[in-house]
Chain A
Amino acid sequence: MKDKFLLRMENVSKDFYGNTVLKNVNLNVKPGEIVGLVGENGAGKSTLMKIIFGSSEIYETGGYNGKIIFAGEEVNFRSSFDALQAGIGMVHQEFVLIPGYSATENILLNTEPTRPNILAEVFDERVNTLDWPEMKKRAKEAIGLLEVDLDPDMLVKEMPVGHRQFTEIAREINRESTKLLIMDEPTAVLTESEADVVLKVIKKIASMGIAVIFISHRLKEILTVCDYIVVLRDGEIQKELRPAETNEREIAEYMVGKDLGEKSGVNREKREFNETILKIENLWVDMPGEQVNGISLEVKKGEILGIGGLTGQGKLGIANGIMGLYPAEGRVIFKGEELPLNNTREILNRGLAFVSEDRRGIGLLLDQPLNWNIAFTAMQVKGEYLKNYLGGLIKWRDDEAISQLAREYIERLNIKCFSERQYARELSGGNQQKVCLAKAFALNPEVLFVSEPTRGIDIGAKKLVLDTLRLYNREYGTTIIITSSELEELRTISDRIAIINEGKIAGILPPTADRVEFGLLMLGKMETGEGVLNE
């Protein structure tokens, strides 16, 4: 019996070390069909794609449960190469191209036609010489199928971004065996006009009988191009929708889920803020994967501002850019004075501090004791906890003062450790995070940036960290700008929440706003006006 479906997934589940990320997913795809896949961060999209594309990561972490039938046969890929052989192609979000190669070379990467050679009889087929005329012919054919304007001889590094994407797609098409193409946010890095061409190309591919699984955060694109839309949340398929019978709001609703209402612990305290402490004007930050494209924002003195949005949209770039960890352009005015961008030390001196999302990388000195960790930045930046000799020529660490400071914070933040001399590496994630906070607090900052403060720590510790931040804000009036992927977390602590989409502010909402509103903003449905809270 011939299967009318190209891909059938039956009750596919996957857990990583007991942590369930996919639950009983059923997905059927017919040849030539375009399926849109929508979901928030951590909804399981990428895991699902990794399973279909046979990523070795899945196999190495114990495989998956359930059945996958592809082209009438049950499959269980051990590596992406198996998936490629079976006829599944993937267009990655980040380009998998060689910048120094021409389009032709990239399209035919490792599938180059060759001319036979006697030496191949002795060694390997790989000593055959490349058949350039044939290579060019095939590249042109693949480009011709896409009906795009792409110069086969142009080097990828000289191409506009859109053409790079065409090159990737052409490579997948060139494989004659390709029956299913997974496209993981192929339009994320493209401008709208470029994206439109990609959408046309997707339709063209589908008309050739190739099925497409299309992932995008741009709902408009999903609605225009897909035959049906699958919404994932918390590892489960929430709903399958037909574009004709749905709208953006409904999709967003399924994506973020229903609001828990009063029970959710959302911050309902209405506070008034008048004075502007930080004014960001047209900020551009070049942080790989988190680019900021011209953001303007005013931060009020004493507030807790949440910054949310989907991964890769640029929310992390804001704090990193202002603090000078990644190249930034634009104007940031702090208390009426312009901050020198890209000069971390000076910015720290002025009274801004940053708790990085990269706790183990730049947040902590893992092989140093707690007391040093806590005092380190204060020592470096402000010259505190140092004894001066010979009129400041020789500076000696004041171990007594450092230990005292550390003990104070250990007590205040309830850091669980044996003593202040314990190494940072030996602490649990939650306690490490508290050390990072203590380190920032020790600077007595006026503005504190905190990025992903609860990533990778358990629920109890999460609450402690958030409570610490709230307490610090209330006690000292410190302005806190908290960036997080977890919307609920932002809603419990922030006074207002800015949602970042494609490197820009999609809108600013009070924490009490409906979840769906946030969801729509994350999906790039811009709000007009941001005065929701400032009325």
Chain B
Amino acid sequence: MKKKLIIRTSLIVLLIILGIILFVIGKQHKVLLDNRDLTIDGVTYTAEAAYEIWVDGEKVGRTALNPGRRNVAYVVGPSHEIELREVKNGKPTGDSIVKKFRLSVKQSEVIINIPALAAGSDSFLYEAD
């Protein structure tokens, strides 16, 4: 009798854990990609270049993201990778920048600032209001 109770309780706990795992890995996040000027902690990053952007290996938008523009990507799950490549005169130049980032389940909508990311700042990602 007691054994069954323990088994049942642990099964329910297991299912709840499964639910949480599903919640985390299935959570969709809206990622806004801003190629705009941004000032963080007194440092200003200015948008000067156009970029081609890949999020989790998928290209965002058909063309490069020009300065002053914004694009959007939807991602699922907690950990992601963003890749940037500068575009000049319609041709990709220079090395691509690859950056990993994590999103918590609470972050439904976040903004990634491309100039800050390109400049190597760690605070390129912040929550949208």
Residue B7 is within 8 A (CB to CB) of chain A in the complex: yes
The interface residues of chain A lying within 8 Å CB-to-CB of B4 are: 121-122
We find that the number of chain B residues with CB closer than 8 angstroms to chain A is: 5
C-alpha spacing A122/B3, complex, angstroms: 10
Contact residues of A: prevailing secondary structure: helix
Contact with B along A99-130 (1 / 0, CB 8 A): 00000000000000000000001100000000
C-alpha spacing A328/B69, complex, angstroms: 94
CB distance from B47 to the nearest CB of A (A): 58
The interface residues of chain B lying within 8 Å CB-to-CB of A121 are: 3-4, 7
C-alpha spacing A121/B5, complex, angstroms: 9
Considering only residues 4-24 of chain B, those with a C-beta below 8 Å from chain A are 4, 7-8, 11
Contact with B along A472-508 (1 / 0, CB 8 A): 0000000000000000000000000000000000000
CB distance from A138 to the nearest CB of B (A): 27
We find that the number of chain A residues with CB closer than 8 angstroms to chain B is: 2
The interface residues of chain B lying within 8 Å CB-to-CB of A122 are: 4, 7-8, 11
CB distance from B9 to the nearest CB of A (A): 11
Contact with B along A120-162 (1 / 0, CB 8 A): 0110000000000000000000000000000000000000000
CB distance from A120 to the nearest CB of B (A): 9
Q: What is B's interface to A at a CB cutoff of 8 Å? A: 3-4, 7-8, 11
C-alpha spacing A121/B4, complex, angstroms: 6
C-alpha spacing A121/B11, complex, angstroms: 11
C-alpha spacing A122/B4, complex, angstroms: 6
C-alpha spacing A121/B10, complex, angstroms: 12
The interface residues of chain A lying within 8 Å CB-to-CB of B3 are: 121
Using CB atoms, name the residue of chain A closest to B6: A121
CB distance from A116 to the nearest CB of B (A): 14
What are the nearest 7 A-B pairs in CB distance? A121-B7, A122-B11, A122-B7, A122-B8, A121-B4, A121-B3, A122-B4
CB distance from B15 to the nearest CB of A (A): 11
The interface residues of chain A lying within 8 Å CB-to-CB of B11 are: 122
C-alpha spacing A121/B1, complex, angstroms: 10
C-alpha spacing A122/B8, complex, angstroms: 6
C-alpha spacing A121/B3, complex, angstroms: 8
The interface residues of chain A lying within 8 Å CB-to-CB of B8 are: 122
Using CB atoms, name the residue of chain B closest to A121: B7
Using CB atoms, name the residue of chain B closest to A120: B4
CB distance from A221 to the nearest CB of B (A): 49
C-alpha spacing A514/B8, complex, angstroms: 73
CB distance from B26 to the nearest CB of A (A): 26
C-alpha spacing A121/B7, complex, angstroms: 7
Using CB atoms, name the residue of chain A closest to B11: A122
C-alpha spacing A198/B8, complex, angstroms: 50
Using CB atoms, name the residue of chain A closest to B4: A121
C-alpha spacing A384/B25, complex, angstroms: 84
C-alpha spacing A122/B11, complex, angstroms: 8
CB distance from A219 to the nearest CB of B (A): 54
Using CB atoms, name the residue of chain A closest to B8: A122
C-alpha spacing A122/B7, complex, angstroms: 6
Using CB atoms, name the residue of chain A closest to B7: A121
The interface residues of chain A lying within 8 Å CB-to-CB of B7 are: 121-122
7 A-B residue pairings within 8 Å (CB atoms): A121-B3, A121-B4, A121-B7, A122-B4, A122-B7, A122-B8, A122-B11
CB distance from A385 to the nearest CB of B (A): 71
C-alpha spacing A232/B7, complex, angstroms: 57
C-alpha spacing A70/B11, complex, angstroms: 45
C-alpha spacing A121/B8, complex, angstroms: 8
CB distance from A123 to the nearest CB of B (A): 9
Using CB atoms, name the residue of chain A closest to B10: A122
CB distance from B70 to the nearest CB of A (A): 51
C-alpha spacing A312/B4, complex, angstroms: 51
Contact with B along A284-319 (1 / 0, CB 8 A): 000000000000000000000000000000000000
C-alpha spacing A243/B68, complex, angstroms: 115
Using CB atoms, name the residue of chain B closest to A118: B7
CB distance from B122 to the nearest CB of A (A): 48
CB distance from B77 to the nearest CB of A (A): 30
CB distance from B123 to the nearest CB of A (A): 49
C-alpha spacing A122/B14, complex, angstroms: 13
C-alpha spacing A122/B15, complex, angstroms: 13
CB distance from A127 to the nearest CB of B (A): 12
CB distance from B110 to the nearest CB of A (A): 41
CB distance from A121 to the nearest CB of B (A): 5
C-alpha spacing A122/B12, complex, angstroms: 10
